Amino acid sequence: MILDIETAPRPDLVERYIKPFEAFDPSTVKYGNAKDPVKRAEILAQKTFEHASAELEYWHKAKERAGLNPLTAEILAIGLHDGEGCIYLRDTPERVILQDFWKAFLDDSVERFYFWSGSGDPSQNFDVNMIIKRSWIRGVKVPQIAMDEAYLSRRFVDVTRRYLLGNRQEYCSLTRAADQLGLYGVGTTLTPKTDSDPVRGENWHLWYTGCNIDAIQTPAQQKLLALQYLENDLLTLKHIVDVIY
């Protein structure tokens, strides 16, 4: 079974769970040789402004990345490919999506769940980490067989680790691996991702919910494009699995 997930950020939870920005301490301001009170006041005002600007940027970036943190995100869809076609767990509350996933996981006819982390580091697996932690947060029971003493059950297979031949220091995107394996081109419907693509991982939730105000498509058309993006990821990973396993 091929596995891929899509999430939506919860910016309202960022300031609750992300480490606070360090408070401004006027005593740390360096005035150099400035003795004039007016000049010192100007320096203090400038440093105060710079700190406030840095804090705004800090929280902006934290909210941009909220969809990557189990504490500040929620799962909108889990995509599966069973070898015959795509299966989507979606359009229900997150708790139900997670319950449905674990039902599929416990199906004895499914031997492995293949996912792509992009990293050779076994701790850097976005999809499975998100599913497990969101399950805990939502009060959904994680089956004992999903985890073992080595962290994850062997039923979860990070395809990246095999593709990188165990190199923990390297990173490789799904698109890059597919390109290196020659999976794009004549005879395939797979589409490589580019930075100019309208639908991307970080804005997928806007397209899926039809809330991308910059799009010319209707909400229904936006949702279709989001599902096509997810389908392309599932099919790309399936092709990679077919090549290297």
Question: pLDDT truncated to tens, each residue of the chain (245 aa)?
Answer: 999 999 999 988 998 988 999 999 998 999 888 888 888 989 999 999 999 999 999 988 888 888 899 999 999 999 999 999 999 999 999 999 999 999 999 998 999 999 999 998 877 889 999 999 999 999 999 999 998 876 888 899 999 999 999 888 899 999 999 999 999 986 778 999 998 999 999 999 999 999 999 899 999 999 999 999 999 999 999 999 999 99
C-beta atoms surrounding 163 within 10 Å: 23
Please state, in angstroms and rounded to a whole number, the distance separating the CA atoms of residues 178 and 36. 64
The per-residue DSSP string of 114-125 comes to: EE--SBSSTT--
pTM for the complete prediction?
0.86
Q: Please report whether residue 19 resides in a domain.
A: no
Boundaries of domain holding 189: 2-12+69-244
Asked, for residue 31, whether it belongs to a domain, the answer is no
- Structurally, the chain folds into a number of domains equal to 1
Residue 60 falls inside a structural domain: no
Domain assignment present for residue 163? The answer is: yes
CB count within 10 Å of CB 157 equals: 19
Task: Tell whether 111 is covered by a domain.
Answer: yes
Domain assignment of residue 54, yes or no = no
The closest of 125, 8, 136 to 65, measured between CA atoms, is 8
List the CATH number of the domain containing 232.
3.30.420.10
| Spatial separation of the C-alpha atoms in residues 110 and 126, rounded to whole Å | 21
Residue 146: inside a domain, yes or no? Answer: yes
